[in-house]
Structure 1
Amino acid sequence: MKLPADVAQLLAKRFANQHRDWLAATTPEQHWPLPIALGLPTEQAALRQVEAVRAWAEAWRAWRGPGELRWTERRWKVLGTQRLPESLILHEPAQAAMWSGEHERWQRAAARFQLMTARWPALAGRLPRLFGVLADYADADFQRLLDLLAWLLAHPNSGLYPRQLPLAGIDSKWMEQRRGVLVDLLAALRTSPQAPDGPDGPDQDAGFYALSGLRRPPVQLRMRVLDAQLRARLGGLGDVTAPVEELARLDLPASVVLIVENLQTGLALADLPGTVAFMALGYGVDLLAQLPWIAPARCLYWGDIDTHGYAILQRARGHLPGLRSLLMDQATLLRCAPLWSDEKVQHGAAELAALTAEEGLVYRGLKQQQWRPNLRLEQERIDWDFAWSVLLRAVG
């Protein structure tokens, strides 16, 4: 026997699992009406729990809510004629949403769905999976989304940078936070997407700019030149931040390329013969593959000893096969045990194929919580005198 609270719990689960299907339904008959049997007992079952049956029936007599409550009459030999609740019939998703405590979100999502599909029918198949956008965006942000889509469709190849758009309240930060949503919607609206990777390809950033027709801000790298003779070739500049395309045009005969994960570690570096250092690239390390002059150099990578540090190393090694890691071994990890901290979210891969045997040993140990849960050793924490001596030996 289902009490009103049981039905509310059942419908909350059903709403969570099916609300996108309800929004996408082209005909209401696909899902509605929705009957919910209330668990009408037999007379034998009722005799075993007379008070429970009475309380159940009274709960439904007192109930006032969405849907059609259907009653039935039972003529029982012992208990006599009884009028009992048999089923609840819901006729539309709004009624299920009211039972689930989601009525306000549903109404807002349904209204916005109708508004957007009336304007852009091509979005009908895409919007249900963006239910959270329809249900939860503030009115101001939703209007900005409509304005931006309309402008981009009217100006498919504007060539403007994001901050140049003549739209109130929209800037590059606003778009960055909603990049995935915009790519999803533009991919449905563009009949001939220009993005080679598409919205779901490996470079969503490139996909967004190709689909939107906006100009992609230049990707910049920060490089320190740690050798006086190399600095002389750049007019004495030793700390350079420039677009990757411009750095690619340099003719810089570096013998060593040092890649460090964190900015302050790179800033702390003193001169090293024949060396240039790149810093704070994160997962953008693959950009270095666009610099032809580093190919002959000996490439070294020093990152945090955590799962993402090794994942960045793996990514970099995909473009620089001879890349060697420094200070990312088990001995360094254990030496610095008092300086360990926590990695909030570990990288998802169980194994990283491009790691060496020693690197893989540490990576698996981190993933398997061998030393302690979510262990991390940030490279800045390593004693600098010790780290510098390792760097000097590596550079030679």
Structure 2
Amino acid sequence: MKYLTLLGSTGSIGKNVLEIVRMYPDRFAVKTLCAATSVELLAEQILEFSPELACVIDEAHRDRLKALLPPSCATELLFGEGGYKAAASCDGVSMVVSAFVGAAGLVPTLAAIEAGKAVALANKETLVTAGDLVMPLAAEKGVPILPVDSEHSAIFQCLNGENPREVSKLILTASGGPFRGTPREAMGDISLAQALNHPTWSMGKKITIDSATLMNKGLEVIEAHHLFDVEAQRIEVVVHPQSIVHSMVAYVDGVVMAQLGQPDMKGAIAYALNYPSRMDIGMDPPDFAALAALTFEAPDFSKFRCLKLAFEAAGAGGTMPTVLNAANEVAVASFLEERIGFLDIPRIIEATMDAHPVVTRPALDHVQEADTWARRKATEFICP
């Protein structure tokens, strides 16, 4: 039996993890559940899975959660950063699924690694903001980091059994989002509803906006750099609207290995949860005859400035990726509140990056300080 801590149980990744747990109750059990503010859904999950611990963002939400549960409920209710760290390092947990959205996932993921727990990583911001800290710590503790993003899972599978010194480049695929065919001059009029209408994937709002700007792919480039120890210059992004090829690895002999499948996160999640074995999760392979064609094209950096900014942050290194991510989180939150326009997102990120004095080889406190600074600075560019 594999006992799980789920950081972000009420989000799209978390709900898919719990679907797989329902499919295989003989293989997986939920030890702890963590969410931020979605206490109603978390209460339902607690009643179904009977975790030992559950945690929310603060004491007020803990009290709301407690009021939704019967007095007979034996789940211990925690809150705040201390609660998340306790959940991530809980005795008896075999694997921590890190599925919080944004930089909030960093501290509990570090706690899981310190405690020697295997990590199924869906929170790309953990490596974007602090990859130079996370990966060495995981190596020191002998902790496997198993990717849950479909792109990184695909690369992980294509590298399996191969010599990493023979890798020429990693090729991340992107759907292109809802605005792949939109002219640059029309992008200033993009509405929130349009940006949330992703053509292929069903995700949370923040990640959906990141996919529309291609920032999601930029963050994945930085994550792949740390996860697979490959320089950002050897990572390529190609737009693949069908989302069947999840990513590829090119080798020095010109051979390219690709992982293909339906555009459904459960495949990558199941592979991470049960690695190195595969599970039947009721998903059929693609119908290639019906697809007829798979197409690829280069991304338009002039139209999708966020992707270019991510490559620039990767090249700068140090605390710059932290600043990129924090400024993006602030800008996307403002766009979701309809306080700024779609093209203001890259403008705010670039201005914040331009104002940042990079700290090379940062410690955790430098990362946290850069994150705080970038959020404040980005907010100034939104509300001068």
- Using structure 1 for the length normalisation, give the TM-score: 0.26
- Larger RCO: 1 or 2 (CA < 8 Å, sep 6+): 2
- Using structure 2 for the length normalisation, give the TM-score: 0.27
Greater Cα radius of gyration, structure 1 or 2: 1
